[in-house]
Amino acid sequence: MDDLQNAPVKRRILCVDDEPNILSSLRRLFRSKGYDVIIANSGQEGLATLEVEKVDLVISDMRMPIMDGAAFLEKVRARWPDLIRILLTGYADMQSTIDAINRGEIYRYITKPWDDNDIVLVVKEALERKDLEREKNRLEDLTARQNEELKELNANLEHKVLQRTKELRSAHDQLIGANEKLRNSFLTSIKVFSSVIEMRGGKLTGHSRLVADLARKIAHKMSLNARESQDIFIASLLADIGKLGFSDELINTPVSQLSPEQLRDFYKHAVRAEQLLMPLDDLHNAAKIIRSQHERYDGHGLPDGLSAGAIPLGSRILSVANDYQQLQNGMYSNKRLFPDDAKAFIHKNAGSRYDPVVIDAFKRVFDANDDEGGIQLVSMKDAEPGMMLAADLVSKDGMLLLPADYVLEANVIEKLRLYDIARKENLTLRIAQKRKT
């Protein structure tokens, strides 16, 4: 069955001549070569045959009554332009042959008497050439269709890529927003937890917030990246978490008045804080900073006796910020130092207690005198929805009321006003001049 399907199709030839012996000779010749031969005795009969039969090539004699070969092939060209046309002619008919070539656009002309091998070869080459033309046209049509399909596919692909890119960009923006919201929630939770630590009262009240704010400013002056600055800020807020188990006496007694046993317990709070925070992956760096907050630059600190660059940079910054605040609130001695005196103490101990590079940044925090740039102070009665806090809003007793970057809403403003009136705190808001959109 497959052999029959793959067998070559027999090519059909129409022979037109008014002489029966010529037609017989042609039919006998081409049938022996495997062609299917149809005959017609005149031009009119040839045209009628072409109306009902599908042929590949036509051979016509030049001299025929009523309609000669030139006229016949001219009509064939007009009706079936793809049909191969061959003219049989005698030597004496050269002018008529030229006319036939011009009018009928014949493929070849063959003079009579013909050579069988020659005429068979001419027909064979003509059909092969036609096959090549058909294949060429088929491939050109196929290429054109494929190019059109490829063009359409590329257009659809480009659209899909643009659509997918738009979806990915939207998802990316949503992810960034979610991450920012998560980060803000995380920092707010840390601030709230820091406020809980400060609820022990005494010298802890408001201390962590002030230390964290100063430490962040020092980190900024030292051009630390956002992640390093945030770790230092969080470590500063949680630096006293290890003191939660202290007695009220130990919390409120100046360090200089502690007994050796109390002093030993006091300095363990940094290690205890590290142990509490290490299970939290996001607080590993902060935990390490807190552990080394009491190390000294000269190596005489606790708990590990680290010195200089071996002490984490965040710990060196926290040490300066923490001691500056503690010197003012009497946590080192009964005597509370004024800010300028506390600064003088810090500067004096550069290279012994503190890292000189950090001290230089500490100086520049106060020398810059530009931290209020872009910030305005607003009383509660002048607060408006849409204003954004430039700093944490903290009550007089150190409790966090709202975190920095919070955008005020009408109902929140009303609650704050009622709180302010009831507590008589005279709250002042630090507002960023540029509102958040």
Q: What structural domains and CATH numbers belong to the chain?
A: 2-114 (3.40.50.2300), 199-371 (1.10.3210.10), 372-437 (3.90.105)
378-417 in b/e burial notation, b at 16+ Cβ within 10 A? bebeebeeebbbbbbbbbeebbbbbbbbbebeeeebeebe
Per-residue model confidence (pLDDT) at position 181: 59
β-pairing, 57-61 with 375-379? Answer: unpaired
List the structure tokens of 163. 């659509």
Kindly state the helix (H) or strand (E) to which residue 36 belongs, with its residue range: strand 36-40
Per-residue model confidence (pLDDT) at position 354: 96
Per-residue model confidence (pLDDT) at position 21: 93
Residues 215, 317 contacting (CB under 8 angstroms)? yes
Per-residue model confidence (pLDDT) at position 344: 92
| Total residue length of the chain | 437
Contacts of 309 (CB under 8 A, 6+ apart): none
Residues of the chain with pLDDT under 50: 1-7, 369-372, 435-437
Sign of the CA dihedral with 332 first, then 337, 340, and 341 last:
negative
Per-residue model confidence (pLDDT) at position 189: 64
Rounded distance between C-alpha atoms, residue 58 and residue 190, angstroms: 98
Rounded distance between C-alpha atoms, residue 343 and residue 359, angstroms: 10
